[in-house]
Amino acid sequence: PGKYPWDIAKNHLNNYFNSISEGKRNTIQNRHKFLSNYEPDFLAIGEESFRGYVVYGYTEKDVYYFESNEPNNATYIFKGKWEDASRLTKRDIISGNLCYKRLIHTENWENKISKIMNE
């Protein structure tokens, strides 16, 4: 818990970023930096079916972003009990429309994130 502007978040995620191939690292870090610029209240590193994801929690808004370390993947956005969501499989989430939003990593990704952040 605490505030996680990019300088702090990056330090906590160094091991995570070092596990990503160098060719993908800049793209992945830029997405994480973008989410971190909104100063989440906490970060959580995913395990099991969410291995390779970081949860950015914005508890005041009750919204939680599950960000992938893979390019051409997606960001899963949940409202409410993020811990319950983290126990689901991605297949369950996609097939059951269980997340608030699923944003594919495209050129418009940042604009879509900004829109949701400013709701």
C-alpha 102/C-alpha 108 separation (Å) is: 13
Contact call for residues 16 and 29 (beta carbons, < 8 A): no
CA atoms within 13 A on the CB side of 31: 29
Contact call for residues 31 and 67 (beta carbons, < 8 A): yes
Could you list the pLDDT tens digit for every one of the 119 residues in the chain? 667 678 877 887 888 788 888 888 888 899 999 999 998 998 888 766 566 788 999 999 999 999 988 778 899 999 988 888 888 777 788 776 778 999 999 999 999 999 999 98
pTM, 2 dp: 0.86
